[in-house]
Amino acid sequence: MLKKSFIIYCAVMALSLQSLADARPDEVVKKDAYKAVWQTIYGGKEDDIAYGIVALENGDSAIVGTCKSFGAKRTDICVTRMNSKGEMKWRLWLGGKKKEEGKAISRAADGSILVLGHSNSFSDNYDYDLHIAKISLEGKLVWETNIGGDRDEFAGGIAGTDDGGALVVGSSESYGEGDKNVYIAKLDKNGKLVSAHTVGGIKDDVAKALTRTRDGQFVMVGYREIERAGDADFFVMKMDQNGKQIWAETYGGEYEDMLDGVTATVDGGIVAIGKTRSYGSEQSDLTVMKYDAKGKLIWHKIYGFKYYDYGNAVATTRDGGFILAGGTNSLGEGNHSVYILALNRAGELIWSHVYGGERKDIAHGAARMSDGSVIVVGESNSFRREKNFYMIKLVKRH
């Protein structure tokens, strides 16, 4: 758990941020550091939601999400390649006759695209299994597979390993002693399961995201319920190429604390993002923290207002800073607005902005492109009745 002095520091910081609850969004912006080059929506006549994005060459990107449009059976995992202008190059559906949800995306060692979701189309008991696929840069399916047990498994994160395979994390109700356990699986380059194991106790332990670090290892983030159900703490664990633990840390305050996104930093550490109800929060606040390569907490920042503010994804910038993306119903016009912040490498706020319309707009993913821009993806039903992919391309002002 966090040291008492750190808890007091965060509580004071959070309370000072709460005093800004009635401020207008433009009063929170310290500097007009970033601008949106374009904003666009993509989707059909049913709900289509983007959850993850990965950079490709020439400013292109690949986006994974959950789609009901374009001939989906119920909901399918959908993968879309976009050019630097946000225009679609190709799209691919993964799944069967029942329900699939696409959650995470990354690159394999050979440059191909790795996708992770969960599906109940292929299980005997109609429970959710992890659904994993490898896709070529031309949008052709290389392989896909399902892994899991007799109960539900839910997708967290995926990353490529040096041998051409993949490391996958999520949560499992099939294995381990708790209601949910962190599930870690290693696949080879052909999608064959090499090994799998769980981490956790008798309560909920969940992995939500995964990143590959500069030293070739991996860090996953999520939450653990240590003392009582419903009282989650931040969970961070570093692993080797086979998913074996190198170090693990659990931090938290009195109430619910969860991590939902993570990215590697240039100095070998990671930055993780999520939400907290501890440290003086009235509802929930966006939380972001930096760890070094050995698991030492370097800084922890909390940004929040009167109601619900949360972070879902984080990306690094070329100058060593960070773009944070999530949602808020404290600011903006709608029920929830996309909430984006820029921090410098010390975690200090240099810019923030809300995007969206009069209904519900949320960011779920973010990545830095090869041209140095950052693209944030998520969902919106402010511009159409249905939920659509919502994509925002940001560049730094000179």
Tokens 């993850």: give the residue: 52
Domains of the chain (ranges plus CATH)? 4-396 (2.120.10.30)
Q: How many CB atoms lie within 10 A of CB 32?
A: 11
The pLDDT assigned to 3 comes to 29
Contact 243, 230 (CB under 8 A): no
| Position 36 pLDDT exceeds 60 | yes
Report the C-alpha gap between 149 and 228 in whole angstroms: 26
What letter represents residue 144's amino acid? E
**Residue 185 pairs with which residues in a beta bridge?**
168, 196
The tens digit of pLDDT for each residue in 260-270 reads 999 999 999 99
The tens digit of pLDDT for each residue in 306-332 reads 888 999 999 999 999 999 999 999 888
Measuring CA to CA, how many Å separate 289 from each of 197, 221, 261, 276, 308?
A: 27, 11, 11, 12, 19
The tens digit of pLDDT for each residue in 216-247 reads 999 999 999 887 656 899 999 999 999 999 99
Report the C-alpha gap between 160 and 244 in whole angstroms: 15
The pLDDT assigned to 229 comes to 58
Cβ-in-10-Å burial (0-12, 13-18, 19+) of 140 comes to: exposed
Q: What is the mean pLDDT of the chain?
A: 89
The pLDDT assigned to 228 comes to 65
| Percent of the residues in the chain that have a pLDDT greater than 70, as a whole number | 91
> What pLDDT band is residue 31 in, cutting at 50, 70 and 90?
low
